[in-house]
Structure 1
Amino acid sequence: MLTLSRRFAAVAFSALALVACGAAGDGAGTSGANPSEANADGELGHVLGQADAPLTIIEYASPTCPACKYFHDTVKPTIEEKYISTGKVKFVFREYPLNEIDVAAYAMARCAGDDKFFDVLDDLFENQEGIRYAAQNGVVKTTLGAIGQRHGIADTATFEACLSNSEIRQALADTYATSEKWGVEGTPTFIIDGVKHNFQGEYTTAEGFSKQIDAKLAELGAQ
């Protein structure tokens, strides 16, 4: 059984919104594998956009990370409108849990079903402050359970079953393991055409991120 401890509250929300969560420090902004290896991880993750889009962007993120919420609320909508919905970008979201609450939240999102994963994720980010408050007061499972109920996880027994489901736990572990190849050290982290980019500089604004995508699409002859 998963234990959701109060100690999460003391560390998970200490960073400012534009500081990547769990980051190792002032490391290089880009690194990683050769672009030819961009899809070598298989199909792990949750996909938005067309499978044959010319550019693939992978995001590793945590639902309790303020920087991830900032990206989700402020930058991602522009990417969805300009690139994902137009068939230019395939966006792959991969779970990168930073704490016990992340594990529970992601297990619940997977349990809701593939077609509801992003709906649950939106709900988690929208209620991040409420999850923070619940963690501080030792009632985070109740808060997560209420979110789950809005997405078809009807009762406490079903919620508990989601948290203890061995197949879901293994899927989360397998997805997390892919981050080792890319050297992911904090969230959010992006893999764009096989190159790792940390959440800093131009990648913290919709305009800057769009500029980087445009440059890569032009390089690929797909703009």
Structure 2
Amino acid sequence: MQTLSNSKPGKKKINPEIKRQKNQERLEKERIRQRKTMRNLIIGTVAVIAVVVLLIVFIPNNNNTAGTGAAPATFDYTQLPVKGKTDAPVKIVEFGDFKCPICKQYNEQIVPQIEKDYINTGTAALYFSNFPFIGEDSKTAALAVESVYHQKQEAFWPYLDAIYANQQDENKEWATTDYLVQLAEKTNLGIDSAKLRQDIENKTYAKQVEAQYDKGEALQIPGTPSIFINGVQYTGDLGDYNALKKAIEQAKTAAGSEG
């Protein structure tokens, strides 16, 4: 597998075959997690039944929101796209892959609730970090969003939403340069589409994408989406908003006590 950027001097080069095998193992585990989470998201759409099901099935997950007790991970938030106020006491980082079906579900069903309850009130800010592991065109999509972000930061989130909204089969290579450029033009982002194409083809932001991927590897994330709340990995069920909300509230309280 071709890496996104040349290795830095003194940096140990990862064997591409080993990296490919690791991604295959992670992808298989991710598909298992996706099936579970997708089921829970579907259940969550049935309001009255969902209350009963969440109480019976998912309460155990509510106690599994604080990670392993290890020191919180650190992020250079200034280098990541952000939705919300940068001085918000709660910072939520999502590692995502644009070919991941659960990332699409999370973005369309859970993020709007976080936005309503926490981002719009100034309590939380949402950050995005690329973790392209499903296919080669996952990297292409990551390069595209980085280009858009560096051209016009406020266009990043509409473009992210557009890619997820038009997501295709994860087992097919669909996130091509042509497709991503055409989608950007169709979304009316107000960016230079010729530059977007050039950035994708020249891998202009490969270094940034590779750094984000390496960060996820260093944190040993199981797949996508993986969420960190104030540096603490959220290990509960992403399909259970009540459990996620509890974790955000805990982070808000902790941040308040530290301040």
TM-score interval, normalised by the smaller of the two chains: 0.7 to 0.9
User: Per the alignment, in what secondary structure is the counterpart of residue 222 of structure 2?
Assistant: coil
Is 1:171 equivalent to 2:208 in the alignment? Answer: yes
Counterparts of 2:71 and 2:210, CA distance in 1: 24
> Larger C-alpha radius of gyration, 1 or 2?
2
Counterparts of 2:211 and 2:182, CA distance in 1: 27
Gaps of 5+ in 1: 3-10, 20-27
Q: Deviation per CA, 1:172-197, whole angstroms, max 9, x where unpaired?
A: 11222222332212001111122112
| Greater mean deviation of Cα atoms: 60-69 or 176-185 | 176-185
1:147 to 170, 180, 183: 183
Report the Cα offset of residue 168 of structure 1: 0.8
1:81 to 95, 116, 125: 116
Structure 2 counterpart of 1:34, which letter?
A
Q: Deviation per CA, 1:108-134, whole angstroms, max 9, x where unpaired?
A: 2222232211111000000013xx399
Alignment of 1:1-223 (within 5 A): 15-16=34-35, 18=37, 30-31=67-68, 33-35=70-72, 37-39=73-75, 41=76, 43-98=78-133, 99-112=135-148, 113=151, 114-129=153-168, 132=169, 135=172, 140-150=176-186, 151-152=189-190, 158-198=195-235, 200-201=236-237, 203-221=238-256
Counterparts of 2:175 and 2:95, CA distance in 1: 27
Structure 2 counterpart of 1:110, which letter?
E
The 1:134/1:219 distance shift into structure 2, 3 A limit, reads: closer
Larger helix share, 1 or 2 = 2
Report the Cα offset of residue 140 of structure 1: 4.2
RCO higher in structure (CA 8 A, sep ≥6): 1
Residue 60 of structure 2 corresponds to none
User: Per the alignment, in what secondary structure is the counterpart of residue 251 of structure 2?
Assistant: helix
Counterparts of 1:141 and 1:62, CA distance in 2: 16
User: Per the alignment, in what secondary structure is the counterpart of residue 183 of structure 1?
Assistant: coil
User: Per the alignment, in what secondary structure is the counterpart of residue 114 of structure 2?
Assistant: helix
The 1:42/1:123 distance shift into structure 2, 3 A limit, reads: closer
Quick one: percent identity of the two aligned structures?
A: 24
Q: How many residues align?
A: 198
The 1:159/1:42 distance shift into structure 2, 3 A limit, reads: closer
TM-score, normalization: structure 2? 0.65
TM-score, normalization: structure 1? 0.74
RMSD: 3.2
Q: Deviation per CA, 1:127-171, whole angstroms, max 9, x where unpaired?
A: 013xx39946x784443232122335666x645412133441111
